[in-house]
A and B are shown apart, each in its own frame.
Chain A
Amino acid sequence: MKVINLHQEEQEIIGLAVGNNRQAQQMIYNKFAPKMLSVCRQYIKDLQFAEDVLISAFMKVFINLKNFEHKGSFEGWVRRIMVNECISYIRAQKKVSFIEDEYYKEDSFNNIDSNYNVNDIQFLIDSLPDGYKMVFNLFAIEGYKHQEIAVMLGISEGTSKSQLCHARKMLQEQIIKLKNYSNGTE
């Protein structure tokens, strides 16, 4: 019952927001902005720029709100707009080069089950170049398939796979560095 009520409430608020009700719009913003800023931060290292992208993405959310069909999750719909806006921003900032080597192999990285805190995780992802970072985020964090990533980034499926392979290798190296650093200080 609670779930249904929440859903109805959300639908009502969305309906009001479509009619440019500023209060309803602010409610939606307040509810989703913190999480969405976190999403933007995954792609954009500078927090100020990440916030700029957050605002422009929310503009798109409200402009296109009338097109939301209430079929899937509203949060998922907002997040998708957020991710697309981040990709557009990165590509507009500088020419992202995807190494078209199409070389990949089924990797089996030995993942040590240690507890990473979220700041470390962000640090690791920040260390990746933009091309690797975008593919890694889309695959590992957002859960897109290589076919979908290829369409979103305008690359081939093979390139997407190889990019992920490179990203994983690099992350492994970074993790080792991080551990050595932390071991060293202890």
Chain B
Amino acid sequence: MEPNKLEKEFRKKLNERHMAPSANAWDRLDAMLTVAEEKKPKRNYGWLYIAASFIGLLLIGTVFFSQTEELIDVRRNEVVTTDKEVIQAVKEDAGTEKDGITPTIKPSETVIATSGIKNKPASHSKPVALPKEENQGQDSQIAANTEPSKNENILNENPEKLLANDVNAIAVAKPSVKVDAHKLLSQVDGELELSFREKVIKTVDKNYKSVRVALINRNQE
């Protein structure tokens, strides 16, 4: 099928025809083009801002998480070792109290030990190389740094009472050893996280206060 003669004539005449558009037609088109051109650059900037802020958040998040993990790992190691040492110390103490020697402790471990074990008094030691099993009331040799303190107090106490306490301490210590360790770990973990948070809050608070103070002083000047 093809266009017939008539249709070809129609085509020819219509294609020759020109119709002038109205005067404001170009103005309308010009305005539409301007609007279309203005839209393009703005959109691009928006996406850039979103992308930049997202990347920023990711970076901050990774920095935070990496810091907290390190702290917890380091502390856990210390806590594990100190737990063992504390347990040893409890056993030792049972033995050494009779002899009237109370070894002293390193300062950093006091803090952890006291926070972990609330029941025990703040005087447990830990030389590194010590045999785990000890005999009651036997000569136990304590290596490295030991400074005598509170000797007089202990000597004054009733030996019978001491013995009774020792027995109880040992009895309590042995069966509950396993449970204590886990509890200690979880307690310490919680406290560590809190302390980190507290630090952050403190620093923010400090900064805010310092800014406030600075502002007030500026006005006064």
- Residues of A in contact with B (beta carbons under 8 Å apart): 20, 22, 25-26, 29-30, 33-35, 37-38, 41-42, 47, 51, 54-55, 58-59, 62-63, 106, 109, 111, 113, 116-118, 121-122, 125, 139-141, 143, 146, 161, 164, 171
Partner of A143, one of B3, B6, B9, B32: B3
CB-defined contacts of B7 to chain A, threshold 8 Å: 139-141
Q: Which residues of B contact A62 (CB under 8 A)?
A: 33
Check if A118 sits within 8 Å of B29, measured CB to CB.
no
Q: Residue-by-residue, is B28-60 near A (CB-CB < 8 Å gives 1, otherwise 0)? A: 111011001100000000000000000000000
Q: A121 contacts which chain B residues (CB < 8 A)?
A: 10, 13-14
Complex: A26 Cα to B4 Cα, angstroms: 38
Which of chain B's residues has its CB closest to A113's CB? Answer: B5
Give Cα A141 to B3, complex, Å.
Answer: 8
**Interface residues of B: mostly helix, strand, loop or mixed?**
helix
User: Interface size of B by Cβ–Cβ distance < 8 Å?
Assistant: 28
Q: List chain A residues, Cβ under 8 A from B15.
A: 35, 38, 141
B10 touches A141 (CB 8 A): yes
Chain B: CB-nearest residue to A164: B1
Mind listing 17 A-B residue pairs with CB under 8 Å? Answer: A20-B33, A25-B33, A26-B26, A29-B29, A41-B19, A54-B25, A55-B29, A58-B29, A111-B4, A116-B13, A118-B13, A122-B14, A141-B10, A141-B11, A146-B1, A161-B1, A164-B1
Secondary structure type dominating chain A contacts: helix
User: For the complex, is B175 an interface residue (Cβ under 8 Å from A)?
Assistant: no
Residues of B in contact with A (beta carbons under 8 Å apart): 1, 3-7, 9-11, 13-22, 25-26, 28-30, 32-33, 36-37
On chain B, the residues within 8 Å of A63 by CB distance are 36
Contacts of B10 in A (CB 8 A): 116, 121, 125, 140-141
Residues of B within 8 A of A22 (CB): 30, 33
- Contact, CB under 8 Å: A51 / B21: yes
Determine if B14 and A109 form an interchain contact, defined as CB atoms under 8 angstroms apart. Answer: no
Whether B29 and A51, one on each chain, are in contact in the complex, defined by CB atoms closer than 8 angstroms, is no
Say whether A33 contacts B21, CB under 8 Å.
yes
Task: Note all chain B residues with C-beta closer than 8 A to A146.
Answer: 1
Closest chain B residue to A165, Cβ basis? B1
Do B33 and A118 have beta carbons less than 8 Å apart?
Answer: no
Q: Is there contact, CB below 8 Å, between A118 and B17?
A: yes
Q: Which residues of the other chain, B, contact A113 by a CB distance below 8 angstroms?
A: 5
Whether A38 pairs with B6 at a CB distance below 8 angstroms is no
- List of B residues within 8 angstroms of A125 by Cβ: 10
A122 to B15, alpha carbons, bound, how many Å?
12
Q: Which residues of B contact A42 (CB under 8 A)?
A: 14
Q: Which residue of A lies closest to B11 (CB)?
A: A141
Contact B14 A118, beta carbon cutoff 8 Å: yes
